[in-house]
Structure 1
Amino acid sequence: MAFGSCLSSYQFPLELQAGWQSAAAIFFLVTGGLYTSYKLLSYGRALLSIFVLPGKSLSSFGPKGSWAIVTGASDGIGKEFALQVARAGYNIVLVSRTASKLETVAAEIISKSPNASTKCLAMDFSANNDADYARLAELVKDLDVAILINNVGLSHNIPTPFVLTPEREMKDIITINCLGTLRVTQLVLPGMISRKRGLILTMGSFGGLMPTPLLATYSGSKAFLQQWSTALASEVSNYNITVELVQSYLVTSAMSKIRRTSMLIPNPRSFVRAVLGKVGRSTGLAGYAYTSAPYWSHGLMAWALSEVVGTMGGLALGVNKSFHEGIRKRALRKAEREKAKKAE
């Protein structure tokens, strides 16, 4: 009788334990299913945004014959923006450091888009000269500026540990990437607000999307632009002004020092065509408001980084660090070879 009583006293806890195990299994099954469904839905949305859904038409930001300002317009991505926006029917203000290069780009615009008008301003953004910004303000004060493309930017000469980064290089990166972008935008934005329309595209970088060892100052400057651009976009959304940060991986350009295209590395023409075709689309970065990665392979990479790998995790940091350490070693070896040739 005593043994039976003991046995019956243990029956209830065992049944309770089995019930909890079943409940836990169901909970984890449901949670896992919801998580998987969310990721699949997120991936489906990214695919639609990247490959199917169009962006806003440029004409929604201002009529043909109005003006677009392009900074860093003398070559690469900036030059291609100027050419393609002019082809869409807009006049172009070209701003960059070298007057002769700007004149060459202006001549090419006129040859390819005869109805377009151009204005050029040579200014060195690293100088942060008040007189330069006053000249730009005077140049555009009577223009209907519908589009601003903040393309001017500077990276490190080669990947370099922060402790070895020259002070001049640090200052130039911050002054050009951050202060230059802010000052030009603040100069142009009041006109857009008064007209209640406009588009501001600012060139970001995967270096700002995820921390990039050996490019610490550049990475920080682009991360700053991410936060600033998103905050600004929210501020002016009620004025029918679209502000968008354009994230990109590598593009063949003088700054990237890459000449060959690949699936992951487009040329400026293909990249800019993707940007202008996807304005207003998150394209892989639904979790980042007012941000896009419009080139198709960049969009897929951005989705994987933000939704699967994580941009701040140790794995991403480690891979990124090793990648840039390799670039630095190759660059230093190349510099040594060139130095030896000169000494011969």
Structure 2
Amino acid sequence: MEYLQKYQNNLSNFRAADMSQTQTAIVFGLGAIGIAFILSQTFTLLRVIFSLFVLPGRSLKSFGPKGSWAVITGASDGLGKEFAYQIARAGFNLVLVSRTESKLITLAEEITAKNPSVQTKILAMDFAQNSNADYERLKALLLGLDVSILVNNVGKSHSIPVTFNETPEDEIADIININCHGTLRITQLITPGMIERKRGLILTMGSFGGLVPTPLLATYSGSKAFLQYWSSALGAELEPYGITVQLLQAHLITSAMSKIRKPTFTVPTPKVWVSTALRKIGRNGGSPYYSYTSSPYFSHGIMAWFITCVMGVFSKRVASINKGMHESIRKRALRKAEREKGKKAL
């Protein structure tokens, strides 16, 4: 009996020691994971800071010789117009594509007046129609041109924030046709030539609406999320051919789409934002989470890093914040519409 008691005591001691070692291993393991996470986040933040504030991007001239062509969609207003001005100053000829011909004519005249050596071609087409005839006309216009740069800027959001169930069917169709079909079809027209020449740059306008789910802009948010993953996949496909693909993430910019006119620390003008984007080609800025993606403007980049790398585990909370913001925007828009309606009645 004494022997049995000693055996049981020894067994208990072994079990206690084993349990203690297991607990110690778990504590050390969790600590190591925590330290690795902190180091990873610190390294990512340092990459973001260097990308946003220190490291230069690739020069536009590295994507094609002076006198080659850049195609810009949604070129007549906002960001598209600024892309046209700044790419023309770099010496590229321009194909300007947008819906309103009169605006395109005016823009082309302004560009050639300021840059006499730059040639321009224009095409008025409504991407919402998704017309085969329009894409055939564009294909004919591009025939024989050395297209070095494509800027997929054309896009559409909701007229005001609205729940999905209340979104008009024609608005849903227009957003999908413009943001998705338009971008895919024009890119498919231009990439064969880039592949053949083994060089080129494809910039596609993304949005924070595609970075995180955005209630009351559900269709727009989904279309931009589609472009996010499409661009990452396209970038991997085309990189072996010397073609750079980059989705440009932007938060709010002063524009007709955002309905914001006054620039602030976090809301730049199109001129400032485009200038930054073109200086940071090939850099991730604040978007290390996705490949072939950049948030080039400094305040947007820091926001993108924080949302994806820090707040990613709180995605439901981020969606809730987004929802509240757009509910507020909707209320203001409805009040403004009521005021204008009252003025017309008078």
- Is the shorter-chain TM-score for this pair beyond 0.5, marking a shared fold? yes
- Cα offset for 1:270? 0.8
Quote the Cα distance in structure 1 between the aligned partners of 2:287 and 2:332.
Answer: 32
1:108 is matched with 110
Matches within 5 A, 1:250-329: 250-310=252-312, 313-329=315-331
**Aligned-partner residue type, residue 172 of structure 2:** M
1:201 is matched with 203
1:130 is matched with 132
- Cα offset for 1:312? 7.3
Quote the Cα distance in structure 1 between the aligned partners of 2:32 and 2:313.
Answer: 27
Q: Which runs of 5+ in 1 are unaligned?
A: none
Quote the Cα distance in structure 2 between the aligned partners of 1:9 and 1:120.
Answer: 87
Quote the Cα distance in structure 1 between the aligned partners of 2:218 and 2:290.
Answer: 22
Quote the Cα distance in structure 2 between the aligned partners of 1:218 and 1:55.
Answer: 29
Quote the Cα distance in structure 1 between the aligned partners of 2:307 and 2:216.
Answer: 20
Quote the Cα distance in structure 1 between the aligned partners of 2:27 and 2:130.
Answer: 62
Quote the Cα distance in structure 2 between the aligned partners of 1:339 and 1:287.
Answer: 45
CA contact (8 A) 1:210 1:311 kept: no
The structure 2 residue matched to 1:26, chosen from 21, 25, 28, is: 28
**Aligned-partner residue type, residue 276 of structure 1:** L
- Cα offset for 1:311? 7.7
The structure 1 residue matched to 2:44, chosen from 12, 30, 42, is: 42
Q: Secondary structure in 2 aligned to 1:313?
A: helix
Matches within 5 A, 1:197-236: 197-236=199-238
CA contact (8 A) 1:210 1:312 kept: no
**Aligned-partner residue type, residue 285 of structure 1:** S
**Aligned-partner residue type, residue 189 of structure 1:** T
**Aligned-partner residue type, residue 268 of structure 1:** P
- Cα offset for 1:237? 1.4
TM-score, with structure 1 as normaliser: 0.95
Structure 1 residues 4-13 or 224-233, which shifts more? 4-13
TM-score, with structure 2 as normaliser: 0.95
What RMSD over aligned residues (CA atoms) do the two structures have, in Å?
Answer: 1.8
Residues 236-276 of structure 1, C-alpha deviation per residue, up to 9 Å, x if partnerless? 11111111111111111111111011111110011101111
Quote the Cα distance in structure 2 between the aligned partners of 1:33 and 1:85.
Answer: 45
Q: Secondary structure in 1 aligned to 2:246?
A: strand
The verdict on how the C-alpha distance between 1:94 and 1:240 changes in structure 2, with shifts beyond 3 A counting, is same
Residues 131-150 of structure 1, C-alpha deviation per residue, up to 9 Å, x if partnerless? 21111111111211100000
CA contact (8 A) 1:284 1:293 kept: yes
Q: Does 1:72 align with 2:77?
A: no
Structure 1 residues 14-23 or 42-51, which shifts more? 14-23
Q: Secondary structure in 2 aligned to 1:245?
A: strand
1:247 is matched with 249
Quote the Cα distance in structure 1 between the aligned partners of 2:65 and 2:103.
Answer: 28
The verdict on how the C-alpha distance between 1:43 and 1:145 changes in structure 2, with shifts beyond 3 A counting, is same
Quote the Cα distance in structure 2 between the aligned partners of 1:185 and 1:205.
Answer: 19
What percent identity do the matched residue pairs reach?
A: 57
- Cα offset for 1:287? 2.2
2:161 is matched with 159
- Cα offset for 1:14? 3.5
The structure 2 residue matched to 1:91, chosen from 90, 93, 96, is: 93
Q: Secondary structure in 2 aligned to 1:224?
A: helix
Quote the Cα distance in structure 2 between the aligned partners of 1:188 and 1:180.
Answer: 13
**Aligned-partner residue type, residue 184 of structure 1:** I
CA contact (8 A) 1:209 1:311 kept: no
- Cα offset for 1:60? 1.4
**Aligned-partner residue type, residue 121 of structure 1:** L
The verdict on how the C-alpha distance between 1:66 and 1:19 changes in structure 2, with shifts beyond 3 A counting, is same
**Aligned-partner residue type, residue 37 of structure 2:** Y
Quote the Cα distance in structure 2 between the aligned partners of 1:13 and 1:234.
Answer: 53
- Cα offset for 1:124? 1.0
1:58 is matched with 60
- Cα offset for 1:12? 3.8
Quote the Cα distance in structure 2 between the aligned partners of 1:238 and 1:216.
Answer: 35
1:82 is matched with 84
Q: Secondary structure in 2 aligned to 1:202?
A: strand
